[in-house]
Chain A
Amino acid sequence: MLGFISARQAGLDDPLRLRRAESTRRVLSLELNKDRDVERIHGSGVNTLDIEPVEGRYMLSGGSDGVVILYDLENFSKKPCYTCKAVCSVGRSHPDVHRFSVETVQWYPHDTGMFTSSSFDKTLKIWDTNTLQPADVFNFEGTVYSHHMSPIATKHCLIAVGTKSPKVHLCDLKSGSCSHILQGHRQEVLAVCWSPRYEHVLATASADSRVKLWDVRRASGCLFTLDQHNGEKSKASSEAANTAHNGRVNGLCFTSDGLHLLTVGTDDRMRLWNSSTGENTLVNYGKVCNTSRKGIKFAISHGCNPEFAFVPYDSNIAVYTIYSGELITMLRGHYSTVDCCVFQSDFQELYSGSKDCNILAWVPALQEPVPEEDNEKHHPPKYFGHSFLGASQPHRSFSTGTVIGSSSGGDKIGSICLDASMNPISLVPELIPGVYKLN
């Protein structure tokens, strides 16, 4: 650690190296911390979570009773012990609440003033965060399993929606209508995900055990269908041709660089694919227990050296290294099936929602002795008080993981505080451990 810092100070190392090493260390030490709690509001299982990419401060959760709750993850209390408060919620008494289980929630990638939620009541709702009123409602013929909005898109404003019908719908927020339909799947579409690298590339996973990649500009069809056998056996058995799994494919996630795609299926397997060629990389993760009938949401770390995947595994969360397929650890804490997890890459925290109504926060373990004074030093300054409305100029640089200095239009001090652990330039070396205290 100190070696990294001195090397960084002397300019021998790329600043990224220190950051990577520290992130990795923190991810590896994730544990259930008694100091961190998420308020228990959900009365039934938590299906989906999303942390806004702008600041990584607000988290949305969708429950199987149709409730959507917004949490504030930031700790301003100056105490190590913190319970994440619910800022507001779309409760059962709300006039526009989803009637059935909310399957997916997602923030608008560039702004916290808006979020989307889709539900089994066959609707996709676009919410205004400040008024908590639906700005728009899309209706579908079947229950909506999943929807996704491209995190990087600048040329389009499409939401991909996977429903019970085999068609993938693309809803245009600009026009407020369903602009495209992608045909090709034979059964319900359980997961959709936009590539974080190419804004027009979309991956969809279906119950017909196929995963397709699409370029939404192409009208003729999908780019390619992932094949678990890489085309070797598919000639022999036409039935198994071009299948990604031997069961329903219900989880889908791109790596943060968008070069690889991770899928999970009900055949208890997880597969890593090259997203540009569609090739199965044949990484063996072993058995990944998966009994869910609907989509599951798993997370991939961001900014670590070997990247990690956090995958629900019954009532536990399995942590795998993505490229080697090694099972690092099992995070035990839930008492019922885990449905979703989401990674907060700024502080290397993991949040998971389960059928037992809990949202658990997995926080890096503290390092042993901590100097007292660091705590005050790093609590966020007052003027950093965040408002939804004020997010008109997003700190886009955080989500892409570039160096702080290059951030355009970002508030300098705010950036340092937000990104405290990754910006050693402004820190005196002996104060470094205090960073962890921030959690």
Chain B
Amino acid sequence: MDQKLSQLVDELTTSGETQLNPEKMKEFKKICKSSDEHINHAYHLLMTQLNKEHAEIRFSAFQIVDELFTRSHQFRALIISNFQEFLELTVETDHEQPLPPPKEVAHKLKKAAIKSVQDWHEKYGEAYKMLSLGYHFLKQNKKVDFQDVNARTLAERRREEEKRKRLENINKEKVKRAQEEMAEMSKEIQDTLTEMENCFRLLMPDPFDFTVNDAELEPVIEKTANEEEPASISMQLADCQPSSLRHIDDEQPCCSKDLPSILPCLKADKNGDLNEELERSDRGAANGDGCSEVELAATTGDDDYETFVRSHGLGSHKYTLDLEISTDIKVRENEDNSAIISSIVDAHKLIGNKFLPSVQLWIQSFTRAGISDDRLRCAIDLKNKLETALEKHKDMNIDYKERKRKVMKVSDDDDDDDEDEFVEVPEKEGYEPHIPDHLRKEYGLDPLSPPKQIGKKPAGGSSFLSSQSQPKRNEEELDPTCAAATLKLLRDKLPQFPLLDSSVSASTEPTASGEPDSKATKQEEERAKAPIIPFGLDLYYWGQDQPTAGKILKFSSQHRFWAPNELEEEVENKEVSEMLKTRYITFAGKFEPVKHKCRAPMPDGSLCERQDRIKCPFHGKIIPRDESGNPVNPEDKAREEKQRFEKQAQQPEWQDPEFMREVEAAVGVDLGSSRYSGKGKKKGKKKKYPNLTDLKQQANTSRSRLEKKVFNKEAMKRVVKAMNRMDRKKHEKFANQFNYALN
């Protein structure tokens, strides 16, 4: 019975599962029920299992304890008599005795144990003093929170608390900073916003803000009203006036396109501040005026409705006019509004780059800190305002003039008015007057006119063409320190020098001298084919004869004072002279991937997949084989046969490890089968508890393996030795000098 009990406990606890096997448990309980003696025995068995350094064993043992605890007074008394140790082993009350790995199971064990202790305390706390003491100990000293599902220890909770507090502090700090920043910046933001708003108004009056609108357009109306017939025209104008704010494009209600569109009186009236759009629509209105003027002139005689309607080609007198108020406005920059637009651009930049990000940052820090009072509201307000401003800016569709960097214009551009603002400055050294087309944008310059036109220009055009054909060269030319750049400079200065660059002649001549086109293209092709090689001495002396090359002066006497009569002796060294004319080009050949496989038959029936070039490290020289892996050449076959035979001779056939193992199993005597194959031995050795998580396996991480290697005593010794040697070497460097010899 006792045997059975211990066996059961062993099986139950080493199952490695989270649930106990119910059948075995039943059996176990039945045995325990039979007598107190067995309970005693079971208690000791379980305590030993609880002491094992494996969380899974402990967990299972704890589950059994839990089962028995509720059923047997005797068992309760036993457990409680040693409750301190029990708590140490399950709840980890002693921090010097942490629960064993694996971690997850240990955590589960702890959770379960805490829960059980609470349950037990509720049920039996009255009767067992030690139990209630233990419970209070956990609760008050270990500060176990029995409600806390995570079964965190006090330290963990405290750590979390601390972390939270630190974060809170950081947030608070951020909020404070944001608040200060906001106080500082909100004024500035407001100013910018107002500025932008005013600029918008100036540029583009609000269609619904009639006061502004009227003020702007009043003179126009009055002028026309004064000049033309009062009633109907002013009516029409009133009709047209709102439309003047709309984008009407070409669909003018009046068919006055063909009429001369410029009315001097209106033109003069045009408000300088009005943008192009306004201008155009104004023009439209003006056209309308013109039209009506003409029409009216024709129809003044009969002020009859019918005739009016008819003469206008209208279907009815009461037709309705649908005006589509289009929102996509386009504002173009011109001299008149450039100041406003530039201030808008500045404000826009300020908002987009500075204000909006910082406002967003404030909002973020406020929300992080959980602040939802006026500060946050204020920040959100600001953000909204900024965003609407940006939106408005986008809606304006301002067509900026290219912003130019005036400095770049000095030599290049043709504007005379610009020029007289600047003092003539001598050209800088290394300054590149020619900026390649694809880079012009970076410099903030207008792109040059297309190459065709430039081709006509003598100097710039030629270089441009060549640069197009040779982008690589071009890049080099950009670098003022590069030889190519200097070359280009030279070339540009002396455009008439034809031999310097054939491409110059090739591109400039065709128009001038009319040479055949084919030659140029041929040269071009060759040029493309030619390899690009680094500059060297050989190129430097290309085609030149160096008479002094390879000549070395040689003194026949080594004496310091006595010299022979003939002062020097020239020796010609072939190698040196050759050096100036040769270039070594290493030719390694091309890498060819291996296409064949080893294909030697493997023990498992497959073929070796290794792709070595010549020799497989496992199967020797790679030889041609057929599909089943047998060598094709007869001599290879013979050799392999021979090898196999030799191998077999080493191990007699009757000692086949498989067979031996069987025999051993039958006889029960070790015949030494394990000696023959290491693999068999490994397989044969069974783990004691296959179901448990292997702790060694877990510990076998790449880190631990590396540690084993790196911190190996031998390795350490070796490293130390090598480093010592290196140290000594350092001293040896000057060891033969008197000065350092003693160091």
Do these two chains really belong together in a complex?
yes
Interface residues of A in 31-55 (CB under 8 A from B): 32-34, 40
Pick from B81, B127, B141: contact of A336, CB under 8 Å: B141
Categorize the interface residue count of chain B: 10 to 19
A176 CA / B84 CA spacing, docked (Å): 47
A-B pairs, top 8 by smallest CB distance, nearest first, are: A335-B137, A34-B129, A32-B129, A356-B141, A356-B137, A335-B84, A315-B84, A333-B130
Does A358 count as interface, using CB distance less than 8 angstroms?
yes
Decide: B141 and A357 in contact? CB cutoff 8 A.
yes
Point out the residues of chain A lying under 8 angstroms from B141, CB to CB: 335-336, 356-357
Does B436 count as interface, using CB distance less than 8 angstroms?
no
Point out the residues of chain A lying under 8 angstroms from B546, CB to CB: none
CB nearest neighbor in B for A34: B129
- Smallest beta-carbon distance B134→chain A, Å: 6
Does B146 count as interface, using CB distance less than 8 angstroms?
no
A276 CA / B84 CA spacing, docked (Å): 42
Does A332 count as interface, using CB distance less than 8 angstroms?
yes
Give residues in B with beta carbon < 8 Å to A: 81-82, 84, 87, 93, 126-130, 133-134, 136-137, 140-141
Given A356-B137, A356-B141, A357-B140: A333 and B129 within 8 A (CB)?
yes
CB nearest neighbor in B for A32: B129
Decide: B127 and A34 in contact? CB cutoff 8 A.
yes
Given A315-B84, A332-B82, A335-B87: A32 and B137 within 8 A (CB)?
no
Q: Which of A32, A34, A40, A315 has most chain B Cβ within 10 Å?
A: A34
Point out the residues of chain A lying under 8 angstroms from B140, CB to CB: 40, 357
The proximity string for A residues 293-336 relative to B, scoring 1 for CB distances below 8 Å and 0 otherwise, is 00000000000000000000001000000000000000011111
Point out the residues of chain B lying under 8 angstroms from A336, CB to CB: 137, 141
Decide: B129 and A358 in contact? CB cutoff 8 A.
no
A32 CA / B133 CA spacing, docked (Å): 11
A336 CA / B129 CA spacing, docked (Å): 16
Point out the residues of chain A lying under 8 angstroms from B137, CB to CB: 335-336, 356, 358
Give residues in A with beta carbon < 8 Å to B: 32-34, 40, 315, 332-336, 356-358, 360
A360 CA / B137 CA spacing, docked (Å): 13
- Smallest beta-carbon distance B433→chain A, Å: 86
A332 CA / B78 CA spacing, docked (Å): 12
Decide: A358 and B133 in contact? CB cutoff 8 A.
yes
Point out the residues of chain A lying under 8 angstroms from B81, CB to CB: 332
Decide: B128 and A332 in contact? CB cutoff 8 A.
no
Decide: A40 and B136 in contact? CB cutoff 8 A.
yes
Point out the residues of chain A lying under 8 angstroms from B136, CB to CB: 40, 358
Decide: B126 and A34 in contact? CB cutoff 8 A.
yes
Q: Which of A356, A358, A360 has most chain B Cβ within 10 Å?
A: A356
CB nearest neighbor in B for A315: B84
Decide: A332 and B133 in contact? CB cutoff 8 A.
no
Given A335-B137, A356-B137, A357-B141: A32 and B130 within 8 A (CB)?
yes
Decide: B84 and A332 in contact? CB cutoff 8 A.
yes
Decide: B93 and A335 in contact? CB cutoff 8 A.
yes
A40 CA / B129 CA spacing, docked (Å): 14
Decide: A33 and B129 in contact? CB cutoff 8 A.
yes
Pick from B127, B128, B129, B134: contact of A335, CB under 8 Å: B134
A332 CA / B93 CA spacing, docked (Å): 16
Beyond A32-B130, A333-B129, A358-B133, 14 additional pairs, beta carbon < 8 A: A34-B126, A40-B136, A40-B140, A332-B84, A332-B130, A334-B84, A335-B84, A335-B87, A335-B133, A335-B134, A335-B141, A336-B141, A357-B140, A358-B136
CB nearest neighbor in B for A31: B129
Point out the residues of chain B lying under 8 angstroms from A40, CB to CB: 136, 140
Decide: B82 and A333 in contact? CB cutoff 8 A.
no
Decide: B128 and A34 in contact? CB cutoff 8 A.
yes
A360 CA / B134 CA spacing, docked (Å): 12
Point out the residues of chain A lying under 8 angstroms from B129, CB to CB: 32-34, 333
A334 CA / B137 CA spacing, docked (Å): 9
Point out the residues of chain B lying under 8 angstroms from A332, CB to CB: 81-82, 84, 130
Point out the residues of chain A lying under 8 angstroms from B130, CB to CB: 32, 332-333
- Smallest beta-carbon distance A383→chain B, Å: 34
Given A315-B84, A356-B141, A357-B140: A333 and B128 within 8 A (CB)?
no
Q: Which of B87, B127, B134, B141 has most chain A Cβ within 10 Å?
A: B141
A413 CA / B343 CA spacing, docked (Å): 109
Point out the residues of chain B lying under 8 angstroms from A34, CB to CB: 126-129
A34 CA / B124 CA spacing, docked (Å): 12
- Smallest beta-carbon distance A362→chain B, Å: 11
Point out the residues of chain A lying under 8 angstroms from B128, CB to CB: 34
- Smallest beta-carbon distance A262→chain B, Å: 26
A358 CA / B130 CA spacing, docked (Å): 12
CB nearest neighbor in B for A44: B141
CB nearest neighbor in A for B141: A356
Point out the residues of chain A lying under 8 angstroms from B84, CB to CB: 315, 332, 334-335
Point out the residues of chain A lying under 8 angstroms from B93, CB to CB: 335
A336 CA / B133 CA spacing, docked (Å): 11
A336 CA / B134 CA spacing, docked (Å): 10
A32 CA / B128 CA spacing, docked (Å): 10
A335 CA / B139 CA spacing, docked (Å): 12
Point out the residues of chain B lying under 8 angstroms from A32, CB to CB: 129-130
CB nearest neighbor in B for A336: B141
Point out the residues of chain A lying under 8 angstroms from B133, CB to CB: 333-335, 358, 360
CB nearest neighbor in A for B128: A34
Point out the residues of chain B lying under 8 angstroms from A358, CB to CB: 133, 136-137
Point out the residues of chain A lying under 8 angstroms from B127, CB to CB: 34
- Smallest beta-carbon distance B85→chain A, Å: 10
CB nearest neighbor in B for A37: B129
CB nearest neighbor in A for B81: A332
A40 CA / B130 CA spacing, docked (Å): 15
CB nearest neighbor in B for A42: B140
A32 CA / B83 CA spacing, docked (Å): 14
13 inter-chain pairs at a CB distance below 8 angstroms, sorted by A residue, are: A34-B126, A34-B128, A40-B136, A40-B140, A333-B129, A335-B84, A335-B87, A335-B93, A335-B134, A336-B137, A357-B140, A358-B133, A360-B133
- Smallest beta-carbon distance A393→chain B, Å: 39
A209 CA / B239 CA spacing, docked (Å): 116
A360 CA / B133 CA spacing, docked (Å): 9
A40 CA / B127 CA spacing, docked (Å): 18
CB nearest neighbor in A for B80: A332
A315 CA / B87 CA spacing, docked (Å): 13
- Smallest beta-carbon distance B213→chain A, Å: 78
Point out the residues of chain A lying under 8 angstroms from B87, CB to CB: 335
A335 CA / B133 CA spacing, docked (Å): 8
A242 CA / B84 CA spacing, docked (Å): 39
- Smallest beta-carbon distance B94→chain A, Å: 10
Q: Which of B87, B128, B133, B140 has most chain A Cβ within 10 Å?
A: B133
A360 CA / B136 CA spacing, docked (Å): 13
CB nearest neighbor in A for B127: A34
A333 CA / B128 CA spacing, docked (Å): 11
A42 CA / B136 CA spacing, docked (Å): 13
CB nearest neighbor in B for A40: B136
CB nearest neighbor in B for A335: B137
Point out the residues of chain B lying under 8 angstroms from A357, CB to CB: 140-141
Point out the residues of chain A lying under 8 angstroms from B82, CB to CB: 332
CB nearest neighbor in A for B130: A333
